[in-house]
Amino acid sequence: MKHHTLRKLVAAFCWPLLFTACSSNKTTTPMESPYIADPHSYARPEQSRVDALHLQLTVDFERQQLRGAAVWTLAPEHGDSLVLDTYDLNIDSVLVDGAPVAFSLGEKDAILGQPLRLPLRPTSQEVRIVYSTQPGARALQWLDPAQTAGKKQPFLFTQSQAILARTWLPCQDSPGLRYRYTADIQVPVGMMALMSATNPTERSADGRYSFEMEIPVPAYLMALAVGDIDFKAVGPRTGVYAEPSMLEKSVYEFEEMEAMLEAAEALYGPYAWGKYDVLVLPPSFPFGGMENPRLTFATPTIITGDRSLVSLIAHELAHSWSGNLVTNATWDDFWLNEGFTVYFENRIMEAVYGPDFAEMLAGIGYADMVEEIADLTAKGELAKTSLKANMAGTDPDDGVGPIAYDKGYHFLRLIDETVGRAKFDAFLRTYFTENAFSSMHTERFVQILTDSLGAEALAGIDLQDWIYGTGLPADCPKPASPRFTQVDSWRSKFIAGESLPQQQYAAWSTQEWVYFIRGFAAADAKLIPALDEQFNFSSSRNAEILSVWFAYVMKHQPKYAQLNGIFGKSLESFLVEVGRRKFLMPTYRAMKEGGSIALARQIYTKARPNYHAVARQSVDALLQ
C-alpha cells in the first residue's frame, strides 16, 4: 500500500525518472484500472500486450507511401498469440525474435480494419513487422506543393485519433493501452520531420531523424509530419513549427503560450511532457487542433493576426492533463477527454485573459450544445445526447461534437458551482495526479468523484441523469456574458433600422462577431445585403466569421451567392482551401437545407481532392 502511494507520487512528478528506474523491472505503466473491453480494437490485451515500439520508416512522397518496420517489444508474461489492429496495410513479413512466423490477417471490417494475428512462444520478446502503407491510408494526408503555403515542397501529416493509427502502423489501437516509442524516419533531404516525441529544431543534413517518446502513450497520440518546416522558440518550454512564410505570424499569434502553460500548471499541477510546441499545418488539416504530445497540430485558420482564437491552443494544451495523462478508456468515454478539456481550457482562458473573455467562450459552447440537442431531438436521435456514448458498431469519429465537449463542460461547471471552486480545483488536481498515465472510464470517474467530494456535497446533482440521461438537464448552468449582452442590444438596434456606430464594434473579438451573426433569425435575412455592406463579412479573412456568415446566408437567402460576386467567390475559395471539418459541415449543411445542393455538390467536386479522408467521409455522407 505504501509502495503504491509512493509510486503514484513519483509517477506524477517525475515520470521519466520512474521509467528509467523501472526499465529493467517488469512494471510497465501504473495502470490501476482493469482493461475495459474496447469495441473499436481487435487487440486482446488480457492475452498479450506491447510495451514499446521502435518504428523505422522511409517517407516516399512519389509513391505516397510509408515503408519499413514496426518493432514491438512485448510486455512480459504474454499469451501464445498477439493481435494487432491494421487497416489496409501491406504486411510483408512478421518475425518473432528474428525468425519468420506464419501470421494471418482476418476479414476486413469497414470501420475496424483487419486483425493481424501472430503466434508467440512463452519466451518471445520482440515482434518485427515489415510493412508498407497504401496510398489511401486514412490517417495520412499527402499534400502537393500547391496545397502548402510555400508551394515548393510536398507535405505529409498524420491524424491518428480516433482509430486511424492502424492505417499507418500495426498497433494495439485502443486508448486504454499505452506504450513508449522510438523512431528512425528517413525523409527527402532538406525536409523536416516531426513526431509526438522529442523533436529536432533544425533540419538534418541527410534527411534522417530519430525520435523518442519515453512516456507511454496510447496509439491515437502517434503523430508524424514532414514538410518545409522551421522552428522558433516562444518561451523556455514553448515554441512554434511552421512553414517558413507562416512562422513569424504564428509566433506573434501564440506569444502567450508560455503564460498559458504556467496558468495551466498553477491550476492542476506540473506539465509532465517536457516541451510544449505547436505545429501550424496547411489549411486542409481536418481539425482545429490535435493534442499530439509535445507537439500540438493546429489549423492555420486560427492565425488571425489579433490572437482572438488562441483558446484553441489553451484547449490542446489542457489535453496534456485531460486526455494525455488521464485518458478515456474507450471512445464511449470520449467526454472524459473533451468535456474536461473544454472546462480546463476555459479556466486557462479565464486566468490569462479574464472572466469576461472566458464567459464568451462558454456562451458559444452553450449555444452549440442547445443547437445540437435540438437537431438530434428533431432527427429522433435523442440517444446521442447522453454524455456516456454508445459507439460500438459505428465510427468513433462520428461522435465528435457538442455533446462530449459542451454538455461535458456544463456538467463540470455545475459541479464547480455546486461544491465550490476551491474544492473542485483541489479534487481535479488530485485526480490528475493520482490517475496520471492511466485510462479512465466514466463509471470509475463517478466513483472517484463521489468518494472524494462526498455524496452530500453532490446531493443536488443527478449524476446518473447527467451522464446517461438525454437532452438538456434542467439544472444546466447558463453562461451569462456581459459582452454578449451588449452585442444582443446592438443587434436589436440594427434590426430595428438604427445604424451601428463604428466605435461600438471596432474592438469586437472574433467571438463577438460570431455571436452577432448567429443571433440573426430567419426573418432578418432581408438585412443580409445591408450587413455585408456595413461589415464586409464576405471579404473577411477570419474563418470563424466566414463560416457562420456563409451558413446564415446559404440557409436563408441562397440567391445572394449569385447576386453578390464577392460572396460567391469567397464561398467557393473558402470551401476549396479550408479542410477543417467544423467549418465545412455547417456550410455544406446550410447549402443543402437552403436549397443549394447542386451548387454544394459542384463546389465539393472541386474541393474534395484537397480534403483529408476524415473530412471527406463526413461531407460525402452529407451530400451523398
Q: Is residue 397 a contact residue for ligand BES (CB under 6 A)?
A: yes
Partner interacting with residue 558 (select from ligand BES, Zn ion, none; CB below 5-8 Å by kind):
none
Partner interacting with residue 434 (select from Zn ion, ligand BES, none; CB below 5-8 Å by kind):
none
Per-residue interface string for the shown chain with Zn ion, residues 328-367, x marking contact by CB under 5 A: ----------x--x--------------------------
Rounded Cα–Cα distance for residues 43 and 24 (Å)? 25
Partner interacting with residue 129 (select from Zn ion, ligand BES, none; CB below 5-8 Å by kind):
none
Q: Is residue 219 a contact residue for ligand BES (CB under 6 A)?
A: no
Q: How do 208-217 and 192-195 pair as beta strands? A: unpaired
Q: Known catalytic residue: 353?
A: no
CA 527 vs CA 42, 521, 560: distances in Å: 55, 10, 11
User: Measured at the alpha carbon of residue 351, what is the angle toward residues 402 and 316, in degrees to the nearest 5?
Assistant: 45
Determine which residue in the list 83, 112, 171, 312 makes contact with ligand BES, applying CB under 6 A.
312
Query: Do you know the residue count of the chain?
Result: 624
Choices 53-61, 207-215, 282-290, 571-579 (CB under 6 A): range interacting with ligand BES: 282-290
Closest distance to ligand BES from the beta carbon of 618 (Å): 11
Choices 308-316, 445-453, 531-539, 599-607 (CB under 6 A): range interacting with ligand BES: 308-316
Given 42, 405, 431, 552, which residue is catalytic? 405
Closest distance to ligand BES from the beta carbon of 290 (Å): 5
Rounded Cα–Cα distance for residues 603 and 105 (Å)? 39
Q: Which is nearer to ligand BES, 156 or 312 (CB)?
A: 312
Q: Which is nearer to ligand BES, 43 or 162 (CB)?
A: 162
Determine which residue in the list 316, 333, 350, 512 makes contact with ligand BES, applying CB under 6 A.
316
Q: Which is nearer to ligand BES, 397 or 416 (CB)?
A: 397
Beta bridge partners of 242: 230
Q: Is residue 319 a contact residue for ligand BES (CB under 6 A)?
A: yes
Coil, helix or strand at residue 430: helix
Q: How many residues bind ligand BES (CB under 6 A)?
A: 16
Edge-to-edge strand list for the sheet holding 208-217:
99-100, 90-96, 126-132, 65-74, 50-60, 179-186, 208-217
Q: Is residue 161 a contact residue for ligand BES (CB under 6 A)?
A: yes
Q: Is residue 162 a contact residue for ligand BES (CB under 6 A)?
A: yes
Q: Is residue 400 a contact residue for ligand BES (CB under 6 A)?
A: yes
Percent helix, strand and coil across the chain, each rounded to 5? 45, 20, 35
Q: Known catalytic residue: 515?
A: no
Closest distance to ligand BES from the beta carbon of 15 (Å): 22
Partner interacting with residue 51 (select from Zn ion, ligand BES, none; CB below 5-8 Å by kind):
none
Best CA proximity match to 142, nearest among 126, 159, 128, 127: 159
Choices 99-107, 265-273, 314-322, 562-570 (CB under 6 A): range interacting with ligand BES: 314-322
Partner interacting with residue 173 (select from Zn ion, ligand BES, none; CB below 5-8 Å by kind):
none
Q: What is the dihedral of CA 31, 37, 42, 47, to 10 degrees?
A: 60
Given 291, 316, 345, 350, which residue is catalytic? 316
How many Cβ atoms are within 10 Å of 126's Cβ, its own excluded?
A: 14
Per the CB < 8 A criterion, the answer to whether 216 and 437 are in contact is yes
Q: Which is nearer to Zn ion, 336 or 352 (CB)?
A: 336
Per-residue interface string for the shown chain with ligand BES, residues 287-306, x marking contact by CB under 6 A: xxxxx---------------
Helices (H), 44-187: none
How many Cβ atoms are within 10 Å of 605's Cβ, its own excluded?
A: 10
Q: Is residue 407 a contact residue for ligand BES (CB under 6 A)?
A: no
Beta bridge partners of 95: 100, 128
Best CA proximity match to 393, nearest among 333, 337, 436, 331: 331
Rounded Cα–Cα distance for residues 432 and 272 (Å)? 11
Cell readout for 481 is: 456574458
Partner interacting with residue 312 (select from Zn ion, ligand BES, none; CB below 5-8 Å by kind):
ligand BES
Amino acid symbol at 16: P
Rounded Cα–Cα distance for residues 202 and 602 (Å)? 42
Best CA proximity match to 155, nearest among 191, 195, 184, 190: 191
CA 576 vs CA 266, 569, 585, 588, 597: distances in Å: 42, 11, 13, 12, 16
Closest distance to ligand BES from the beta carbon of 362 (Å): 13
Binding positions for ligand BES, 552-611, rule CB under 6 A = 582
Active site residues: 316, 405
Residues of this chain that bind ligand BES (CB under 6 A) = 161-162, 287-291, 312, 315-316, 319, 338, 397, 400, 405, 582
Residues of this chain that bind Zn ion (CB under 5 A) = 338, 341
